[in-house]
Amino acid sequence: MNIAIAQSGGPTCAINASLVGVFKQGLLTKEIDAIFGSINGIEGIINDELLNLKSMIKTNEDMELLRQTPSTMLGSCRYKLPEMETNPEVYEKILHTLQLHRIEIFIYIGGNDSMDTVVKLSAYLDSVQSGINVIGVPKTIDNDLPVTDHTPGFGSAAKYVSATVQEIIRDSSVYSIPSVTIIEIMGRQAGWLTASTCVLRANGEEAPHLIYLPEAGFSAERFIEDVRKEMAKHKAVIVAVSEGVILPDADEFQSGAVDNFGHKYLSGIGKYLEHLVSEKIGCKVRSIELNVMQRCSSHICSKTDIDEAERIGRHALTAALEGNTGKMMYFRRVSEMPYAVTIEMTEAENVANKEKCFPREWISPDRNQVTDTAISYFLPLIQGEVNILMKNGLPVHFQRPLQMR
């Protein structure tokens, strides 16, 4: 029997660790011969673009390197499977590739869009009695998947974001004049990553003084009031804001500046709030976007996150071998102190295309902070450091051999 693995959606620091988990479990399973990697998610299956992973990941060091390499080693896709009725050809192509290579298990590592693929594909493969099992492994820095306590990739992103915000706090406090620093953090619909900066309070930091999440609603007037209040207490006010925070008067998101082509600059919420503070308060103000560094800064990944990501990959293969299909693996937190999770299984359709927002009851009444309960939730996820292999003063990344790129 052969198996195939693919990675999908936005990159994280942990998605390659899940790949390593499936791969390691595959090596330990006698009945498994080839382990294929599909290039660019499900597209590699559709187009029959597969790599033989055993000839690429050859040593324990290769696996260690892969664990510390961010992004998706196999590439990714944003491709959404069409409905079977409207486009059966795609499904037939997939079946053809899987049968051609005697693939009996397909593990798909991705977010809620990828779980949609798991649902549709497993239903189709069942309907034609192919005997091929499909299992989903969650990943996303957004932490917005239902059912699971948290998602692989989130802990590393949260660790990077909080460590970086702490450094920005130091950087912001050097001058004698009052200032406001606005840090824009990823999360379109869900504010988990922005909220996670509250962990700094566990280390005695007072900042971020204000935390704004998409779930809390937002008003520009209230924001300016909040900032004024904090400026009365702190010389350097630090604001963490989720990119998904939306202003009712969204047109104002354009800075008004025009480039050489006459395009208006579309800027994010951070830049917008910077201009707002400048106009309404007139103090020193800057905005900082943590950008893709939030999802790829493996050099400060969470050991808890990377270890869990590998472990859930192993469990996914075991579940598929036991005959399960159309499921997603997930974490259940069984103990807070000491922190412990078990890995369970749910129907992928419980997760596909759904989002889990930050709990309302963890948002402060003023809607500009999060409660201490949130700290207890987040802290275990950022614990531990991976001993990163370095060369020439830089982390070493695993790369596909040139002829396989």
Q: Is 346 in the site for a copy of itself (CB under 8 A)?
A: no
Q: 42 is written with which tokens?
A: 């499900």
Q: Is 163 in the site for a copy of itself (CB under 8 A)?
A: yes
Identify the CA nearest to 31 among candidates 339, 263, 321: 321
Q: How far is the CB of 380 from a copy of itself (least distance, A)?
A: 9
Q: Is 56 in the site for a copy of itself (CB under 8 A)?
A: no
Q: Is 353 in the site for a copy of itself (CB under 8 A)?
A: no
Q: Is 204 in the site for a copy of itself (CB under 8 A)?
A: yes
Task: Specify the stretch interacting with a copy of itself by CB under 8 A; choose among 117-125, 131-139, 255-263, 306-314.
Answer: 255-263
* 231 vs 276 by CB, closer to a copy of itself: 276
Binding test (CB under 8 A) with a copy of itself, winner from 71, 117, 194, 325? 71
Backbone torsions φ then ψ of 2, nearest 5 degrees:
-115, 160
| SS3 at position 94 | helix
Angle of helix 112-127 versus helix 88-100 axis, rounded to 10: 80
Residues in contact with a copy of itself, counted by CB under 8 A, come to a total of: 71
> Residue 213: CA atoms inside 13 Å, Cβ hemisphere, count?
27
Q: Is 200 in the site for a copy of itself (CB under 8 A)?
A: yes
CB-based contact 200:350 (threshold 8 Å): no
DSSP letter assigned to residue 243: T
Q: Is 68 in the site for a copy of itself (CB under 8 A)?
A: no
Q: Is 179 in the site for a copy of itself (CB under 8 A)?
A: no
DSSP letter assigned to residue 302: B
Q: How far is the CB of 50 from a copy of itself (least distance, A)?
A: 15
Q: Is 403 in the site for a copy of itself (CB under 8 A)?
A: no
Q: How far is the CB of 72 from a copy of itself (least distance, A)?
A: 5
Backbone torsions φ then ψ of 264, nearest 5 degrees:
-80, 145
Using the structure block, give the residue that is written with the tokens 């450094």.
167
d(CA 312, CA 318): 10
d(CA 366, CA 200): 20
Q: Is 390 in the site for a copy of itself (CB under 8 A)?
A: yes
Binding test (CB under 8 A) with a copy of itself, winner from 92, 252, 336, 372? 252
CB-based contact 345:319 (threshold 8 Å): yes
Restricting to residues 361-380, which ones interact with a copy of itself according to CB under 8 A?
Answer: 379
Q: How far is the CB of 392 from a copy of itself (least distance, A)?
A: 5
In this structure, the strands spanning 340-347 and 327-335 are antiparallel
- Among residues 142, 226, 305, 307, the one annotated as catalytic is 142
* 262 vs 323 by CB, closer to a copy of itself: 262
Q: Is 249 in the site for a copy of itself (CB under 8 A)?
A: yes
Restricting to residues 17-46, which ones interact with a copy of itself according to CB under 8 A?
Answer: 40, 43
Q: Is 76 in the site for a copy of itself (CB under 8 A)?
A: yes
Q: Is 385 in the site for a copy of itself (CB under 8 A)?
A: yes
142 assigned to active site: yes
Restricting to residues 284-323, which ones interact with a copy of itself according to CB under 8 A?
Answer: 288-293, 295-300, 302
Q: 137 is written with which tokens?
A: 């492994």
Q: Is 336 in the site for a copy of itself (CB under 8 A)?
A: no
* 182 vs 363 by CB, closer to a copy of itself: 182
Q: Is 142 in the site for a copy of itself (CB under 8 A)?
A: no
* 96 vs 170 by CB, closer to a copy of itself: 170
Q: Is 150 in the site for a copy of itself (CB under 8 A)?
A: no
Identify the CA nearest to 179 among candidates 189, 171, 190, 191: 171
CB-based contact 183:208 (threshold 8 Å): yes
Q: Is 176 in the site for a copy of itself (CB under 8 A)?
A: yes
Q: Is 347 in the site for a copy of itself (CB under 8 A)?
A: no
Q: Is 95 in the site for a copy of itself (CB under 8 A)?
A: no
Binding mask 256-275 for a copy of itself (x = CB under 8 A): -xxxxx-x-x-----xx--x
d(CA 317, CA 230): 51
Q: 198 is written with which tokens?
A: 């509250």
DSSP letter assigned to residue 385: B
* 296 vs 328 by CB, closer to a copy of itself: 296
Question: Residue 38's beta-bridge partner residues?
Answer: 50
- DSSP per residue over 2-69, as a string? EEEEEE-SS--SSHHHHHHHHHHHHHH-TT---EEEETTTHHHHHTT-EEEGGGT--SHHHHHHHHT-
Q: 29 is written with which tokens?
A: 């399973």
Give the residue numbers marked as catalytic. 142
